[in-house]
Amino acid sequence: MADFNRNSALPEPTPARNVLPQVIAVSVKNVLLFAGGMSTAYPTILIPALTNPQVDSNFQLNHEEVSWIGSTNLICALIGCSLSGVVTQPIGRKGFMQVVTVPLLVAWLIFKFADQMWHIYFALALYGLSSGLIEAPVLSYVAEVTQPRVRGMLSATGTLSSVCGVLVEFFLGTVLPWRNIALVSSAIPLVAFFLLCFIPESPHWLVMRHKLADAKRSLAWLRGWTAVENVREEFEQMCQNHNVTYSQTGSANVFTISEGPSRTLRTVNLKPYAQKSFIWPFGLVAFICFLCGFTGFLTLQTYAVSIFTSLNVPINEYYATLGLGIAQFFGSLVSIILVKCYGKRIMTFVSLGCIGICNVGIGVYGYQTRVKNLSLISEDIASDNFNVTDHQWVPLIFLVSLSFFSHCGIRVLPWILLGEIYSHETRAVGCGLTSACFYAFGFLGNKIFLNMIDLLTLPGVYWFYGLISFLGWLILYFALPETEGKSLQEIINHFSGISKLDNKIRRSLEGRSV
């Protein structure tokens, strides 16, 4: 039984009150992404620390071992993403996010007390796997608890939170030893676990699990702590989208579940994953993930200290790395404004175009100054010397700009799109698989980066990144639809071939929230 009349005396919430609980729910989820950002930045601190005997004499690494430090977490995240959609379904979005905080905490404690190299690799693998496992629930959650008019903006805050984690970790790298950084970082998963206790489960997931009374209460909480009567229309549309129907008798609503012959709670229907509605968006976001892996900004984050050292920037390489984190932070802020005001297409084209220019500029500078290889050991070339020629600021400006413009658009784009381009029944698995593509290309880009430098030289690698950036710009111009302001059902219909989205932003979406 579903009683829509409970607390019906409560008035309709104001627009601000309507949005506030969605902001709170997404912000709590973002604490987990903040923890993920810290773990993503940690190899940048580990690599120079473990390759410098003066920092830690227990570890002596060669090029191959260094490349595995930069990529082990990514390959394990790929595995986690591949599994996350499947394991999330029976537990729930919120419930699984809480479960994953435990291995994240364990990984940080292993870093703190590691005294052998396999401890480092095991901790990298554990937090990489954990980071991958959270992709499906966090992406599905933000899509399922938000309304279209704020979905794009709130989705972009996920990357902003991750970048804040990166920035904090880079800052800690300037003031603390690597072991103490791990100890400080271990507090964040604990905070995330307890905050998640105070937000509701996704109403979409609850409807799919036939927990209709809980779904109504969750939706009412998310729409301004209002009465369930005030969310009746949206709830009915949600039930219809999930093939849940009901008949009314007096003031009561009796629900019946519509199931096809092959759809039960105990079986997995693979047919939706072979349809155009899944293959088309999967291919699109997989290509965007390829661009993320091979346009330079992921390898820059991992090998930042070594790149700054090799190009002889005029400030301490650790402060320069902190500058990257600051650039990522402001770039993510700008992306929220761009996606809200100009849409995803304009945001993407500005980002990719500027990334291409930065990559070409870095390549030209490296060629002119005859920098061919990468120095893995920090030599503190210009840490205290600011009396330098003007041209030594050029690589610093280009590298920081590359980090900024990547986070203005292409870096956040996959995570904004993932939660809205898949149908309800394929969303969790789709988010997991396409997140796996991101980590797969990230792993490949980081793992072969040193080999690419040996083959093409450092300038040649950045020219290659520039070429990929411009080709990606051209392909996405024709392939990327504008989804900003559209309902989930309209986007699903577009990728199913039922209708076609235009490339204009919808500024208002009255009465259409799912």
What's 341-371 look like in SS3? HCHHHHHHHHHHHHHHHHHHHHHHHHHHCCC
Does residue 168 surpass a pLDDT of 80? yes
Asked if residue 341 and residue 203 are part of one domain, the reply reads no
Which DSSP symbol is given to 461?
A: H
Cα–Cα distance for residue pair 259/352, rounded to 1 Å: 44
Spatial CA neighbour of 412 closest among 502, 344, 326: 344
- Do residues 278 and 426 share a domain? yes
DSSP states along 11-42:
PPPPHHHHHHHHHHHHHHHHHHHHHHHHHHHH
Residue 232 lies in a domain: no
> For position 441, what pLDDT does the model report?
93
Share of the chain above pLDDT 70, in %: 87
pLDDT at position 103 is: 93
In a domain, 37, yes or no: yes
Residue 259's pLDDT band, with cuts at 50, 70 and 90, is: very low
Instruction: Indicate the angle between helix axes 449-479 and 343-368, nearest 10 degrees.
Output: 150
The residue among 28, 115, 5, 124 whose CA lies nearest residue 74 is 124
What's residue 54's pLDDT?
A: 64
Tens of pLDDT, residues 454-485: 999 999 999 999 999 999 999 999 999 888 87
Residue 506 lies in a domain: no
Residue 289 has what pLDDT? 93
**No. of helices (H) and no. of strands (E), the chain:** 22, 2
**Average pLDDT of the residues in 60-86:** 80
Q: With respect to residue 38, please indicate whether it lies within any of the assigned structural domains.
A: yes
User: What would the pLDDT profile of 194-207 be if each residue is shown by its tens digit?
Assistant: 999 999 999 988 98
Window from 29-43, 71-85, 312-326, 344-358 with minimum mean pLDDT: 71-85
Query: Per-residue DSSP letters for 371-434?
Result: --S---S---TTTT-----GGGHHHHHHHHHHHHHHHHTTTTHHHHHHHHHS-TTTHHHHHHHH
Give me Rg for the CA atoms of the chain: 24
pLDDT reading at 346 higher than 50: yes
The reported pLDDT for the residue numbered 246 is 52
Q: Which of 68-77, 91-100, 376-385 shows the lowest per-residue confidence on average (mean pLDDT)?
A: 376-385
Q: 204 with 287, same domain?
A: no
**Most confident of the following: 114-128, 351-365, 444-458:** 351-365
Kindly state whether residues 212 and 339 are assigned to the same domain: no
Residue 1 maps to a domain: no
Alpha-carbon distance 271 to 274, whole Å? 5
| Local confidence band at 350 (pLDDT 50, 70, 90 cut-offs) | very high
Number of domains in the chain: 2
- Return the number of other C-beta atoms located less than 10 Å from residue 42's C-beta: 28
Q: 426 φ, ψ to 5°? A: -110, 0
d(CA 128, CA 147) in angstroms, rounded, equals 31
Contacts of 340 (CB under 8 A, 6+ apart): 152, 153, 484
pLDDT per residue as tens digits for the range 284-296: 999 999 999 999 9
The answer as to whether 267 is a domain residue is no
Q: pLDDT (tens digit, 9 = 90+) per residue, 310-321?
A: 898 888 888 898
The helix or strand, by DSSP H or E, that contains position 71, with its residue range, turns out to be none
Regarding predicted confidence, which is higher, 398 or 10? 398
In this structure, are 212 and 297 located in the same domain? no
Q: What is the pTM of this model?
A: 0.71
Per-residue pLDDT, 495 = 85
pLDDT digits (tens, 9 = 90+) for 29-53: 999 999 988 988 898 888 888 877 6
My answer on whether 426 and 280 are in the same domain is yes
User: Per-residue confidence at 257, pLDDT binned at 50, 70, 90?
Assistant: very low
Give me the domain span that covers residue 202: 15-217
Tokens of 413: 């784009």
Q: Are residues 352 and 453 in the same domain?
A: yes
Average pLDDT, the chain: 83
Q: Using alpha carbons, list the distances in angstroms from residue 290 to 339, 356, 505.
A: 21, 15, 26
Mean pLDDT score, 358-367: 94
Same-domain check for residues 66 and 154: yes
Best CA proximity match to 366, nearest among 462, 279, 285: 462
Query: Do both 199 and 284 map to the same domain?
Result: no
* pLDDT value of position 376: 65
Residue 353 to residues 35, 326, 459, 467, 490, Cα–Cα distance (Å): 30, 21, 19, 11, 29
pLDDT at 417: 87
In this prediction, residues 426-444 reach a mean pLDDT of 83
Residue 348 amino acid letter:
T
> For residues 89 and 285, what is the distance between their CA atoms, to the nearest angstrom?
22
Each residue's pLDDT tens digit, 201-239: 999 889 888 888 898 999 999 999 988 888 888 888 888
Copy the structure tokens of residue 347. 């945001």
**Residue 237: inside a domain:** no
Same domain (yes/no): 203, 281: no
What is the average pLDDT across 246-269? 45
51 and 183 belong to one structural domain: yes
CATH number at residue 71: 1.20.1250.20
Same domain, 335 and 440: yes
- Among 135-149, 161-175, 364-378, the range of highest mean pLDDT: 161-175
The pLDDT of 277-287, averaged and rounded, is: 92
Nearest alpha-carbon partner for 284 in 456, 150, 154, 418: 418
Q: Of the ranges 20-29, 59-68, 138-147, 176-185, which one carries the lowest mean pLDDT score?
A: 59-68
User: Residue 260 pLDDT more than 70?
Assistant: no
* Position 505 in a domain: no
What is the four-CA torsion angle of 295, 296, 301, 306, rounded to 10 degrees? 170
Output the six-digit token pair for 287: 């290509």
